[in-house]
Amino acid sequence: MPTLDIKGLTINAARRLLDEKEVSALELTQAYLDRIVSVEEDVHSFVSVTADIALEQANIADRMISEGVHGHLTGIPMQLKDNMSTKGVPTTCSSKMLEHFIPPYDAYVTEKLKDAGAILLGKGNLDEFAMGSSTENSALKVTHNPWDLEKVPGGSSGGPAAAVAASECVFSLGSDTGGSIRQPASLCGVVGMKPTYGLVSRFGLVAFASSLDQIGPITSDVEDSAVVLSHIAGHDQRDSTSLNIDVPDYSEGLVADLTGFKVGVPVEYFSEGIDSGVENSVRNAIKVLSDLGADIVETSLPHSAYALAVYYIIAPSEASANLSRYDGVKYGYSSDVAGSMWDALENTRQNGFGPEVKRRIMLGTYALSSGYYDAYYVKAQKVWTIIRNEFKEAFESFDVLAMPTAPTTAFDIGGKTGDPVQMYLNDIFTIPANIAGIPAISVSCGILDGLPVGLQFMAGALQEKKLFRAAYAYQQATNWHHIKANI
């Protein structure tokens, strides 16, 4: 067999190769394992590589294909962000607290992909417990952007975004609490999609902020994103927030025409702080939508300006509660240098958590404390409702909203670690979708000084088909998603 070129390989292209017997699942899997060996020393996108499991699953996939009993993802090599439980495989959350933790069960999405015959290559690096925007908060390693190894890949799903951008896997799954799929997708030049809250079960996802967390796909193109979402969406009784709805085939009805489509452009998302080159790229992309027949209308979402403040009260508050379980008693890291039980608990949390996680625990504990609960948490809940209603009203007039994904392109590693506020501002355009509980997607819309720029679409709750239609039409009319990192 000639050398297999897997750079930028999509799910659909890999499916054709497998179905036409041009390559076996075992050969395809080995090609990705070889690719990981060749670039991982520079990129550091994986926390762990599960080569033996991948090869075993590939053999099973080949048998399924030969017997004609297979689906769209059978034999497709993929990666999971390392905050999704994998039975028998370490799930670390890139934290010393869980560095040696091996779950006794699979997450819902792990089960779904395993049932579909997808092949697990390994687990992706992230900001510790998904708290960060650059993947520099990982306690295990710093992931580098494949477009420029001196730049961050974004976060917290920086490992998954970098892995797809570097062609170390066909697709990956990330989690998105305030932009953690879309922002790294923007910085790494790939497609990142956050579904409607509750569309994908959170069972087995290590909790950060339970009312905001959502799992979604990171892929090379929009069609792949729709395929993956069709496989991982669905009701799960083990997750009380899981929506009990019929899941359509999201890849159906993708057309390269937007005639009659109404696109709102919120003025607040082109505000002070956005890089002029990013703004120009996004505005040029919106002109393309107009050329495709979309009706472009400028609109206003004034309460979006408060989403960042609401997020940094709600999310840390929930994190402080969710992370209280890591006490060194039940599982995970435990300090053995202590004179008493209370000393052991304090030392465990002091040494097991990194600086950003401890910062957010303290922020959340403060917001929930007596005397401040009403002033901060309750007020944030009220503004949360206002923001949700504002978006609901907007989607009575528009099919989708279009705006930048991130205010800048990828920044230097170490460039913002000393200023948490500047780091938090990287999510200013992505957080509102989490607050509103609506789906959103990021696609590449330009290259600025050698680095990708992201265009973001948002749609109403459970309107993923509209979201995919807009993003797919844009990709069909442009070439940005075909330009790959030179690594």
Q: Residues 156, 172, 201, 281: which is the catalytic one?
A: 156
Q: Residues 180, 304, 317, 320: which is the catalytic one?
A: 180
CA 314, chain centre distance (Å): 19
Query: Is residue 304 flagged as an active site residue?
Result: no
Between helix 276-291 and helix 464-477 the angle, nearest 10°, is 100
Tokens 């109404």 found at = 262
Tokens 């069609």 found at = 223
Question: Cis peptide before 156, with omega less than 30 degrees from 0?
Answer: yes
Closest CA to 409 of 359, 362, 451: 451
Q: What are phi and psi of 176, to 5 degrees?
A: -130, 110
DSSP string, 431-453: HHHHHHT--EEEEEEEEETTEEE
Rounded to 5 degrees, what angle do the CA atoms 267, 483, 274 make?
Answer: 25
d(CA 25, CA 320): 43
Query: Is residue 38 flagged as an active site residue?
Result: no
Between helix 222-232 and helix 464-477 the angle, nearest 10°, is 160
Structure tokens at 455: 């265009």
Query: Is residue 156 flagged as an active site residue?
Result: yes
Residue 430 near residue 406, CB atoms below 8 Å: yes
Q: Residues 81, 112, 151, 416: which is the catalytic one?
A: 81
**26 residue type, one letter:** L
Rounded to 5 degrees, what angle do the CA atoms 225, 226, 231 make?
Answer: 100
Q: Which helix (H) or strand (E) holds 27?
A: helix 25-43
CA 58, chain centre distance (Å): 25
In which region does residue 129 sit, left (phi positive, over 0), alpha (psi from -120 to 50) or beta (all else)?
A: left
Sheet with strand 440-448: strands edge to edge: 46-49, 119-124, 77-81, 171-175, 215-219, 191-194, 440-448, 451-459, 400-404, 262-266, 295-299
Residue 236 near residue 267, CB atoms below 8 Å: no
d(CA 103, CA 231): 23
Long-range contacts, stretch 226-230, CB < 8 angstroms, 24+ apart: 226/250, 226/251, 226/254, 226/464, 226/468, 226/472, 227/11, 227/12, 227/72, 227/73, 227/251, 228/11, 228/73, 228/171, 228/173, 229/193, 229/195, 229/199, 229/200, 229/464
β-bridge pairing 119-124 and 77-81: parallel
- Please list the active-site residues: 81, 156, 180
